[in-house]
Structure 1
Amino acid sequence: MPPLHGSQRVAVLADSQNLYHSSHSLYSRNIDYTALLDAAVSERELVRAIAYVIRADSPNEEEFFEAIEDIGFEPKIKDIKTFADGSKKGDWDVGISLDAVTLGEHVDVVALCSGDGDFSRLCSHLRHQGVRVEVFAFGHAASEDLLDAADSFVDMAEEQDRFLL
């Protein structure tokens, strides 16, 4: 990874659903959002940190929303959708992409905290615009297309004690 510069402006975008499902399916543990934010900013200038979350009426989720805000993330909350057949869906892919493109005009680096391969085209677009893209995810749960499209990748699985509670 090339050296990081203190003058770089960084936006941190955390796909909380992706991180939650990855950390729970692989390790049955929660993400340490303080460590994630510290690693993503890495002594550079933080412009904005957003955590994209889904409200699913599960226990303790309001406390989680407050906790990530106390850490320094702006929570963007969307209600889960339940369809007539009983299936449920909740994701922020379009919202994350729109925010990344908009913020890309004001930052040098987008730290994308997700392993979702749907963001590989977003990475390519941002890089074409001159924005550095750093992906933070668990290697076993991260899309190869996404990793190939990013400038750098931090495998959170290699530092479980740092990134997991």
Structure 2
Amino acid sequence: MLTMSNQTKAKHFMEIFINQTVAILIDGNNIERSIHSVTNNQNTMVNFDTLIPKLLDNRGLNRLIYFREGKNISSKLTERLHNHYYGSVIPCHKSADIPLTIKATQLASKVDTIIILSGDSDYIELVRHLRSEGVRVEIASIPETTSGLLVEEADYYHEIDESDWFELPGQSRPNRNNKRKHKK
């Protein structure tokens, strides 16, 4: 029979650590537009160096994919995501909705959690589907531009705020108090 101190020791050593694997799928256009609308500044960008570790919260990153409409995708962004997170950037013909949805369904059997960076209500059905497949779904977005129903459908919501973005160097934010005065 174990003594009380031995029971405590055994309990301590029997702690269960759950290791989750996470895929982060980013609707780049949605997140960028959301940040720009909140900051009123086209030169404000997501700071992945602060945001990704916060989203992962000591969980293992399986995939990071940044979906971006258009052909002019920053090579610096592509290089940075690859070098720091083994991430990739996928250019989309139009919206990221369909390619992101396809990739999420492909990854559903390979990861425990999918984090979608977007507040777009177009992802509601995807969230419902992934959850029905047993995948934990988290949404990360700017609250002011996020669908309330999307947040309700997700298992968890991460609020992206000003601590998660930065202004490009050499670019100044327009001063709202010093508007140009027009001569009459």
Superposition TM-score tier, normalisation by shorter sequence: 0.7 to 0.9
CA contact (8 A) 1:7 1:44 kept: yes
Match of 1:106?
A: 110
Which residue is 2:138 aligned to?
A: 134
Is the counterpart of residue 26 in structure 1 residue 38 in structure 2?
Answer: yes
Shift of 1:53: 1.5
- 1:122 matches 2:110: no
The TM-score normalised by the length of structure 1 is 0.81
Question: Aligned pairs, how many?
Answer: 146
Q: Which residue of 1 aligns with 2:100?
A: 96
Q: Which runs of 5+ in 2 are unaligned?
A: 1-16, 167-184
Residues 98-126 of structure 1 deviation map (CA, whole Å, 9 limit, x = unaligned): 11111011111001111111001111111
Identify the match of residue 54 of structure 1 among 24, 48, 69: 69
- CA-to-partner distance for each residue in 1:29-81, whole Å, 9 max, x for gaps? 211122222122221111111111223447xx2323323323322111235xx
DSSP 3-state at the match of 1:11:
strand
Q: 1:130 to 1:54 in 2, by over 3 A?
A: same
Kindly indicate whether the alpha-carbon contact (under 8 Å) linking 2:71 and 2:91 is maintained by their aligned counterparts in 1: no
Aligned identity (percent) is 25
Structure 1 residues 11-42: Cα deviation after superposition (integer angstroms, max 9, x where no partner): 11111111110011111221112222212222
Q: Which residue does the alignment assign to 1:64?
A: 77
8 A contact 2:28–2:68 mirrored in 1: yes
Could you tell me which amino acid in structure 2 is paired with residue 45 of structure 1?
G
One-letter amino acid matched to 1:66: E
* CA distance in 2 between partners of 1:113 and 1:57 (Å): 20
Contact 1:20 1:31 in 2 (8 A): yes
Q: CA RMSD in A?
A: 1.7
Correspondent of 2:90 among 66, 69, 76: 76
Write the distance in 1 (CA, Å) between the matches of 2:103 and 2:51: 19
